[in-house]
Structures are given as structure tokens and as C-alpha cells.
Structure 1
Amino acid sequence: MKLVIIDRDGVINEDRADFVKSADEWIPLPGSLEAIARLYRAGWKVVIASNQSGLGRGLFSISDLNAMHSKMHQELTLLGGQIDAIFICPHTPDEGCSCRKPLPGLFHDIIRRYEIDPTQVPAIGDSLRDLQAAHAVGMKTWLVETGNGLKTKNDPNLPPGTQIRASLAEIINEWLREN
């Protein structure tokens, strides 16, 4: 099985300093949904792993989050694509959970659900915490320069071997050319 784990805000859609709080504020980055659709049509399972502390902070409700994801699913369906699953951490940073990236809890959950070898799974993010969580379970890390990526790419704590590309679309286009 070919499976990829992708962070949401800053990778698939625009990120906001004040959090993406509604379907109206959920705006896909240019080419991201088209790239996911191409990957899906090429036989990949696409899974999202996303910190959503805005839930725990009371900035938006689970209904709001579901509306954002419904918008994403609808736009992807029109392009012939699909997200297989969305794993979220709803906790705030001070709650001490194991699922909030940079801790690898979400990734452990995905590994268990799909019964996959993590060393064969790429993970794409725009923040150091995305890559640290993926690296902690042995996944191949990819950094996009969208979202927080330009700031993150110069971080001395970037996991070794992290590949850096301009966007999600650039990564997926490269993968599909290689296969």
C-alpha cells in the first residue's frame, strides 16, 4: 500500500495566525487539491494528521471543523480525489496529551490503523513539529516552503534526510514522475 501523511494548515490550505476557524476561512493553497487528486488516482491513500488546538481553545466547534473538512472533501471529489482519513489532536499545548505534534501519538494511531511499516511512509509538513513527530516513528520527512516552511527550513533541529520542496504540488509531481 502506498500511503502518505500530510499536515493540513500551511500544506494543503492557507494557515492563519488566528487559526482557521470556519469553512469560509479554509482556503486551499494553489495546486494542493489537484496534486492530492492526482496522487489518489495513482493509487495512493492520503491521510491527514493535524493539530487542531482551536477546538480545545474554544475558537471553533467540532461542527465548524467538520464543515471545513466537508468543503475540502467536496472540492477534492470534483477533482477526482479523496482523503482516506483525517486524524486530529484537539488538545491545547498545555494539556499534556501524546497526540499533539511534535509527539508521535497521531502517527502511532495511523500506523496501527493501516498496519503499515512507517519506514515506507512519507510525511509532509510545514512546521518542525510535523517533521519531528513523523521522524520519531521512522517516517521519511518532507518539508514544504508554504505555511511555516520558509522559517522551518533553516531550523538546526530539522530531522536528518528531510527533503525540502516549494509546495505540496511540487512534491507530488516529483513522486508521480518517478513511478
Structure 2
Amino acid sequence: MKKIIAALAAALMISVFTTGCFGMGQKAAVATGDEALSQEATDYENNFEGLCNYLASFGYINPVSDNEDVTYVSMDYELVGADKGRKFTEQTKKKATIEIYEFNTDKKNATADEVIKSVKNDGVFKIYDLPEVKALLSDNGKYMMIYTDKSINEENTESDEYKLRDEIVTKFKEFHK
């Protein structure tokens, strides 16, 4: 009986972590003025909203849709020691999922230190007894991204999906080096 309860608890934790069930759907702030037209990272503030608006300027994510539908889920970012986190559920160029987290690099906690170190060293992190999660850090170490697209074939580097992921990863990593 204890094994069944433990298995159910583990399944629930995996579900919560991978789907962002702790968060409520919300709309992101919309870039305004010159910022809305720019595709230069330095034209955006070096913060979570700036990164989201920068990625949106390329059409990688859609923080607000035309019909006001929710396009992202707020994640339980404390699980990874972050200050903010969102999982974008509607992208304008691809139906992949993109999770973005922001860490306070001036005042990290033990969980953040462990996650960041693991991602830097191995490209993955693990919390609790859940499976490892592939992730990457921005060059400035302030942001983490989890990019999931099950249609990518790692051996087919010429596919549109593979090229798009590489393009998004490059823009993400370069944001405010």
C-alpha cells in the first residue's frame, strides 16, 4: 500500500512540474513604442519581461494573442529556486513549449545554486526524484530555458524544427550577455 501511495505521489509531482499546474494562466506585458519594433537585445530591459518581449519580437513566443486568450502558464518557479517562471503554450512559429525562468543572481538560494550548477555542467537538472530535465542558461547566467519539441530528430540537423530551435537558443543565450 505504501508503494502505491508513493507511486501516486510521484506521478502527481511529475504532472505538476511538467504542466505547471500550480500556476494560473496570465497575459504577459506587451512591448510598447520603439521596443515593440526592435530586434536588438540591448533595446530591452535586462529583466524577465524584457527577455519575453525580445523573444516575442522574433515571433518565437506569443505573450498576448489577438483574441486575449491566455498564452502562457505561470510556473511554480520556486521548485528550481527561480524568482519568476513561465511556460509558453502558444508560439507564433512552432508548437513547441518554451519555459523561461529568471534567477536573482545577486541573492541566489541553495536550490538555485544546485540547479544552475547542474545545468552549466551537464545541461540538465533534477529535483526530487523526478526525471532529469534538459535546460540551458543564458550567457549572463540570469535566465534558464527549457525547450521541448518532440518532433525534433537530433540526427536531422537540416530540419526546420532543428534550425528553429538553434535560432531560438542563440537569441536566448545572447540576451544581455
TM-score (normalised: structure 2): 0.28
- State which structure, 1 or 2, has the greater radius of gyration over its C-alpha atoms: 2
